Amino acid sequence: MIGIPLGLLYTNLGEWLIHKHILHIRARRKGSFFRFHWIEHHRNARIHHMHDPDYHRSVFGWHAQGKEALCLVGLALAHLPLLPVAPFFTGTVLYGIWNYYTKHKKAHLDPEWAKEHLPWHYDHHMGPDQDCNWCVTHPFFDYIMGTRKKWREEQLVGKAKASHEGVK
Ligand SMILES: [Zn+2]
Ligand SMILES: [Zn+2]
């Protein structure tokens, strides 16, 4: 049963590490496979005030949504062999991957829901600094690492001001 809290900690740390180091730092390198997160997803969220209309399209395609889903399926498959050895841990990790996908998608289809239920991810996209607030489903490791930045309402990019400025 210890596998459940361990799995929750592991997936939350994974969200922090992957989002920061792969989806932001590595994604800014020219030719990176992960550029979709920064160039497509952040740009859309910034222009449409957190809404990313690309989540309405089919997940099957060589675009931000297809690549995101592909990465998550890859992560799930990579952990699958652990299932017989550590069923609670692996089950929690698989749940964490699904939880990430559904919550992240919902946040960008329903910005008002995101503002209320995932304010840290709203802050990630709409705050003046998009290189903080790395966790998506729960801000635990952002608090541990000191990267949870709560912006005041007036600091968030307003509807009128929303643009892709800051997205290089
Ligand atoms: Zn991001
Ligand atoms: Zn997002």
Smallest-distance ligand from the CA of 167: 1
Smallest-distance ligand from the CA of 166: 1
Per-residue confidence at 160, pLDDT binned at 50, 70, 90?
very low
Query: Is 83 among the domain residues?
Result: yes
- Residue 168 pLDDT > 80: no
Query: Is 29 among the domain residues?
Result: yes
Q: Residues 108-139: pLDDT tens digits?
A: 999 999 999 999 999 999 999 999 999 999 99
Smallest-distance ligand from the CA of 108: 2
Query: Is 165 among the domain residues?
Result: no
Query: Is 36 among the domain residues?
Result: yes
Torsion of CA 137, 142, 144, 146, to 10 degrees: -170
How many separate helices (H) and strands (E) can be counted in the chain?
Answer: 8, 0
Query: Is 160 among the domain residues?
Result: no
Query: Is 49 among the domain residues?
Result: yes
Query: Is 164 among the domain residues?
Result: no
Q: Tell how far the Cα of 87 is from the centroid of ligand 1, in angstroms.
A: 31
Q: Residues 22-54: pLDDT tens digits?
A: 999 998 888 899 999 999 999 999 999 999 999
Query: Is 9 among the domain residues?
Result: yes
Q: How many domains, the chain? A: 1
Q: Tell how far the Cα of 86 is from the centroid of ligand 1, in angstroms.
A: 31
> Domain residues for 103?
3-155
